[in-house]
Amino acid sequence: MGAGPVPGDPVNLAVTQSVHLVTGPADRAGLTGEWRRSLYVLVPDDPVFYAKFQSLEEPLLRHLYQLHHAGAESDEQRIISDAYDSWVQVLLKLPLWARWHAEDAPAVVGPAEPPPLRYTLRSMRGHQLTSLYPIEVAAADLGQLTACLDLFATVGTAPGACSGSGQRDIDEGLTDLFRRVMDVLLLPPPSELLNVLRFVAIQEGAVSVTLPSERELEYQRFCEEIVTILSSGDTFAYRSHRAMYL
């Protein structure tokens, strides 16, 4: 028998074996029970997505302040307040946020989940790919964020905003941004690719994953959808963003 992996060295996972390990009967039964309460989302290790998601914080807080300053409580205030709470819950699970805060301010993170394992994802040709991370998100949080998006889209201008054309343009931009972020979070991940990456997430130490051709094709299609959702409508932004995944 050959020697086992040396501690601290990258582990090159056999992807076909990984799929088998995470799709056994017990795991499938567990997922069936979890689905009613939560689901797994594949989020990219992508600063474009992270920046767009994080930029939702200021307008959510601003509109909450405007509604609170107006006096009486309202359904709009409750919806936006719930959405902000859910936004925080998702933020805490994003790989970039967890990694940066674990490295820069571990005392502030406190009870938050540890940052996900950093791993190297490669194509069959050996090219390094942008990593995707499976995060478990409560269905209620996605529902509350969606309700807030629907509110903004229905009202046309965000609650509490003035009716001037400048403010209307800002709010239309906010709704578009919000919709793009939610479309990524609600994008159904390829099941076999998700299974592989869920297995990677429970490994210890440095891990290198080479995707077989079938999974790589799923990866390319999925990432192309992410880039299109986030960056369509701006040719330069789209080309620059897509270059991250080549």
pLDDT at 38: 86
Query: Is 135 within 8 Å of 113 (Cβ atoms)?
Result: no
pTM tops 0.85, yes or no: no
pLDDT at 129: 93
Phi, psi of 155 (to 5 degrees): -70, -35
Q: Which of 97, 95, 92, 101 is nearest to 141 (CA)?
A: 92
C-alpha distances in angstroms, 152 versus 139, 143, 178, 179, 219? Answer: 20, 14, 9, 10, 32
Q: Which DSSP symbol is given to 205?
A: S
Dist. CA 81–CA 125, nearest whole Å: 47
> How do the domains of the chain map onto residue ranges?
11-243
pLDDT at 95: 82
pLDDT at 120: 87
pLDDT block averages, 10 residues each, the chain of length 246 = 43 39 33 61 93 94 85 84 96 74 48 62 92 93 96 69 43 90 96 92 78 94 97 94 88
pLDDT at 90: 95
